Amino acid sequence: MKLSTIIEFQNCSIFQKDSLILSEVSFRVDKGEFVYLIGKVGTGKTSLIKTINVQLPLNEGDAKVVGFDLRHIKRKQVPYLRRKLGIVFQDFQLLIDRSVNKNLEFVLQSTGWKDKKAIKNKIEEVLGKVDLGYKGYKMPHQLSGGEQQRVVIARALLNDPEIILADEPTGNLDPETSEGIVKILLEISNSGRAVIMATHNYTLLKKFTARTLKCENGRITEVDQEEEIDFNSIK
């Protein structure tokens, strides 16, 4: 495993309960790399992300994520691994009964932050990174879909993760807003964090080219950058 490698899977099988979803999974992602994960619905994109996040156990093969061995990780280690991961969901999962600032404050307090000034400064920092520094007082329903997704990205950055896992982050957004989200994720990868973005948005793949892994027929393959991606194969 290279020093710069932050995710490495070797000959892994990915299961959902007793169902084999992906087999012979071998790939690696380096620090600061932006990687698309594509494939039709049900081909294993989310299952792979859940395996990286230890929502699904790894029982076959070898995998390391930020130095943790997924085959032999202990339950008490899981929170420490997850703190090094930032998760961006398609459906936001914001707490609708409190402001943006209070949403972010809740996450920090839940992960052990106690100093009120440090919490305030961190919230200002991450909202600034997603260009929402002036909207912390607003409630989620007062924000557009794109703004809510930027809050989710800010939330994912709170504990300075080494990896961002974005599962269809533009799925509910219009084309212009989607481009803005991808630009933010690319900026995050340029800052040294690895970003894996599951998507079936062909327009984004064409406009913002990056290394691409494809889930198809129970396997993961790397798409040649010169190869024309078949749009019908990822819808």
Residue 228: per-residue pLDDT: 58
Give the gyration radius of the chain's Cα atoms.
18
Give me the pLDDT at residue 217, please. 94
- For residue 184, give the nearest of 127, 138, 108 by alpha carbon: 127
Distance CA 51, CA 70 (A): 8
Query: 174 vs 44, 139, 141, 169, 180, CA distance in Å?
Result: 25, 21, 17, 12, 10
pLDDT value at residue 89: 80
Half-sphere exposure in the Cβ direction for 42 (13 Å, CA): 3
Q: Which two tokens stand for residue 174?
A: 């219009």
Domains of the chain: residue spans and CATH: 1-84+181-224 (3.40.50.300), 88-160 (no CATH)
Q: What is the pLDDT of residue 136?
A: 94
The secondary element (H helix, E strand) that includes residue 14 is strand 5-16
Supply the pLDDT for residue 172. 83
Angle at 30 between CA 70 and CA 62, to 5 degrees: 25
| 144: exposed, middle or buried (Cβ count in 10 Å: 0-12, 13-18, 19+) | exposed
* Segment-wise mean pLDDT, segments of 10 residues, the chain, 235 residues: 85 93 96 95 92 94 96 94 90 89 95 93 95 93 93 94 94 91 94 94 92 95 72 55
Q: What is the pLDDT of residue 233?
A: 55
